[in-house]
Structure 1
Amino acid sequence: MSDEVDVPESHPRYHSLLTRHRIEAGVETGITSQQGLIAQGRGEAFDYLLGEETIPSADRAARTAAAALLRADKPVLSVNGNVAALVPEETVALANAVDADIEVNLFNRTEKRIERIADHLGAHGAEEVKGLTADARIPGIDHERAKVDSDGIYSADVVVVPLEDGDRAEALGEMDKTEIVIDLNPLSRSPQVASIPIIDNVVRAIPNITEHAHDLKSRSEPGLHSIIEEFDADTALREAERTIRESDN
């Protein structure tokens, strides 16, 4: 990955600069919207306050997410432009680890952009990507993110929604779905309404969930259920907020 941007890996901001480059490249290729650049900058500020590392509460949340995905009857990973630009291969690896579908869902939706993202994910190993059919709607949403596949997000019982819009996060919760939200801001509406909020950078969180999924694959159904039951979303959010408020960065 070091050839993606002309910055040496020894540079203290190497990973941050590489992430920015991926988003910029996503905009150039039509995968990521220009608003995605703003979202990336906002998230980067929170990541800096978190020490640019996975804090213990986020790791526990990732482990709980893995347990929920392994127990799910129909898990789906929702992908937007930033996710496709930042973690395409990692998203495919997670889908394979937990036998989940991948579905593209966009606020700034065009058929061409959906196709480009699907092709991009395919180039990184995805055998099938949902999102083009859009034959169902999430109730209570008036914008383009309401459009989903009936055999994808609409019928899913567990949905991973990284870098999510708060209103869709609330709407999916109203549909009694288990929502796994990845967000760097613990005060954002999306993690506040999530079943399992992971306050972490998506570039760390997705592979971390995958690693936990591999570790938990042999765990019994009651064992997975116990992990999920022991997790407290409010505690995870409070611990993340405390880490940010007490940051020396």
Structure 2
Amino acid sequence: MVKIPKSHPRYWSLYYREKIIEGMEKGMTAKAGLIAHGRGEAFDYLIGETTIEPAEKALKAAVAKLLLAEYPVISVNGNVAALVPKETIELAKALNAKLEINLFYRTEDRVKTIAEELRKHDPNVELLGINPTKRIPNLESERGKVDENGIWKADVVVVPLEDGDRTEALVAMGKFIITIDLNPLSRSARMADITIVDNIVRAYPRMIELAKEMKKLPKEELEKIVKEYNNGQILNEVLLHINSRLEKLSKEGVWRKKELST
């Protein structure tokens, strides 16, 4: 991976961009994953590259639902494995959830490479989706292949950095779907039951924190958090945040005149 000086003003953005490139070079991330990451970066700029209040509400509702779930499963694709492999495993442990590798551009080599990457952080981690035997109805892509002991059986599924067609198909199956998507206008964001409009590198660590805190809450309080959550309202709040921020920036001005040295 290219070494980026920590003094660079865009250090973290460039660091995670290089992680995606490294993931492609290893064989984990598909070429289309680079495009998806760039699109996400653009929306992260719009929200201000921070976890905004609507995202925090969604994060709490998501963790509450996962803690209440009978059989939660977290889906893993190439971008997730490249960006947050350690955090993905920690989150699954904190929520007592299963992990399943699921890919749109599925090859056995990619599945094997992703599994190897995750096992670097925990050699004993249980990974489903290696040999899927079930298929999501009305989903013809490779992403339709799922593990009968994973997504097929799950009541709640986390599908981060997701394609809209699978989100829609899983909802049609009766699954409760949680997605992490920086684009509030995507089909995944609009189809999911809970949409966390945040960068996954911020969202997963925060979810781990919340899981540890909220495990202590009574079931009734967790149920209240989920019941009071409204995904449509949250997406509206995200759009209002972006609009307000752009209006503010347009008034303040974004161009800084560079003084010429004499």
TM range (shorter): over 0.9
Supply the distance in 2 between the matched residues of 1:173 and 1:96 (Cα, whole angstroms): 25
Give 2:82's aligned amino acid.
Answer: A
Deviation at 1:93, TM superposition (A): 0.6
**What does 1:1-249 correspond to in 2, within 5 Å?**
5-125=2-122, 127-246=125-244, 247=246, 248=249
- Normalising by structure 2, report the TM-score: 0.92
Supply the distance in 1 between the matched residues of 2:177 and 2:161 (Cα, whole angstroms): 12
- Deviation sequence 1:142-174 (CA, Å, 0-9, x none): 110000000100110011000000010000001
**How many correspondences in the alignment?**
246
Corresponding residue SS for 1:153: coil
Corresponding residue SS for 1:240: helix
Supply the distance in 2 between the matched residues of 1:174 and 1:85 (Cα, whole angstroms): 29
Q: Which has the larger radius of gyration?
A: 2
| Contact preservation (8 Å) 1:46, 1:244 | no
| Contact preservation (8 Å) 1:97, 1:213 | yes
Give 1:66's aligned amino acid.
Answer: V
- Deviation sequence 1:103-140 (CA, Å, 0-9, x none): 01000000111011011111112611111121001011
- Deviation sequence 1:52-111 (CA, Å, 0-9, x none): 000001011001111111111100000100000000000001000000010010000001
Structure 1 runs not aligned, ≥5 long: none
Aligned sequence identity (%): 52
Deviates more, 1:117-126 or 1:130-139: 117-126
Structure 2 runs not aligned, ≥5 long: 255-262
Q: CA RMSD in A?
A: 1.1
Deviation at 1:12, TM superposition (A): 1.8
